[in-house]
Amino acid sequence: MAMNLRLRDDQTDALKQRAEEEGLSMHAIVLRAVDDYLSRTAQEALVRKTAREQAAKWHELMERLK
């Protein structure tokens, strides 16, 4: 799927500089950033889901221990 990405001038400049320093294309760096974001947020979502499940499982006991 194609999409347009509009960056501020300072973001574009920083991305160009980083791409040159790393010997990568700007496109490759953006793809890496998207992959990193998706991986990180998937992990965070799993932690939140597990926390909700455990809170529900132990809710009654925690109320009795108050």
Structural domain boundaries in the chain: 9-65
For residue 30, count CB atoms less than 10 angstroms from its CB and return exposed for 0-12, middle for 13-18, buried for 19 or more. middle
- Model confidence pLDDT, tens digit, residues 3-59: 999 999 999 999 999 999 999 999 999 999 999 999 988 888 888 889 999 988 999
What number of CA atoms fall less than 13 Å from residue 45's CA on the CB side?
Answer: 6
Q: What is the pTM of this model?
A: 0.65
Do 30 and 18 form a contact (C-beta atoms < 8 A)? no
